[in-house]
Chain A
Amino acid sequence: MPVSVDSSRTVYDALRANGVGLMSALPETWLVHLIRMAEEDPEMILVRLAKEEEGVGISAGAHFAGTKSAMLMQNHGFLASINGIVSGAQLFRIPLLMLISDRGTFGEPDPWQTEGGLVTEHVLRALRIPFARVDARADCALHVGEALTLAHASNRPVALLLGRPLMWEAA
């Protein structure tokens, strides 16, 4: 099953419609189209990372600079970013939008993803990061807009879990 280009386009357009001007990314399978769309867009600054946690610092810098940004990563990348999120974004009350592809849950065929899938929601809750699961293309624009609104009103990180039903083409 291929990664859904149409869903990627919907998410990307929602980010642009909400004024996002910088995206940091560490690719994984589900995110390849989103990253390509950012690369092809002259209005978007794309920062390809070596490690996802860098994206927290880059997004904080972008926020201070007046640019809305989004982090694109899979749930293991979120796990790799935790100290930056807690002692960077949360300590300093930085609005942070995290688009997290939710690997290792129902339907996951790759064994190495499954531990991360077990803990993702628990860690988000433990860190008191508001999150919404996005499974349907029709909900993308609303979720992205509402996530950005909350992030900026609260000056805190907010996450959207991009689910398998959204990111994969239906058989």
Chain B
Amino acid sequence: MSMRRLDALSAIYDDLEPCAVVTIMGAVAAELQSLGHRPGHFYLQHAMGLASSMGLGIALCRPELGVVVLDGDGSVLMNMGGLSTMGRYRPGNLTHVIFDNESLLSVGGFPTATSAGTDLAAVAAASGVPRTTTVATVSDFAAAFREARACGELTTIVAKVDAHYEPPARTMGFVTELGLLENRFQFARHLRDRADT
């Protein structure tokens, strides 16, 4: 029993509005864009594993900003050491969501280690992340996310989701119409403008 990632994203879409959001590549990026791109969203369309490191860098440098990382099990498995670094510095303004569909969806559905026993919430807790939880329904996810944003402590939420992807309209696979560099420069300008206010 698990949820659709698009429904989970939909449930927290409004809560993301004031935050700087970093997503992993592929389905997560396309699905969030299908709900509505914002200048505060950055889609790290490669460099697997580094979305959490990027979120950590932003959070450490901008303690006044809410920072959300929308991560995946495959990406986290590529940078497990990054969880230790995140746990070590534990910025309270950072919320780390891991959409765990137990597969590398964007390359055709290769089952990852989380389908065979690896528990990423437990890994995060053992890496020093102060608050961790695993959820499997949209309402539990939304509640956990809002609690994480409100509590002022670093939180990792593992959201168990279906390995399902419906390409949003006008996309080809995971390619959307937002250019990589267009997003990159717009995001930097947005964070710069927010610093000036």
Instruction: List residues of chain A with CB under 8 Å of any chain B CB.
Output: 21-22, 45, 47-51, 53-67, 69, 83-84, 87-88, 91-94
Contacts and interface: CB of A to CB of B under 8 A. Distances in A.
B61 A54 contact: no
A59 B84 CA distance: 17
Contacts of A67: 61
Given A45-B61, A61-B61, A64-B58, A54 B85 contact: yes
B153 to A, nearest CB: 19
B55 A61 contact: yes
A47 B53 CA distance: 11
Interface string B181-197: 10010011001100100
Most buried by B among A48, A55, A91, A92: A92
Contact of B188 (A63, A69, A84): A63
A93 B1 CA distance: 41
B62 interface: yes
A118 to B, nearest CB: 26
A87 B47 contact: yes
Contact of B47 (A22, A49, A51, A57): A57
A102 to B, nearest CB: 24
A87 B188 CA distance: 18
Nearest to A94: B184
A77 B126 CA distance: 25
A44 to B, nearest CB: 11
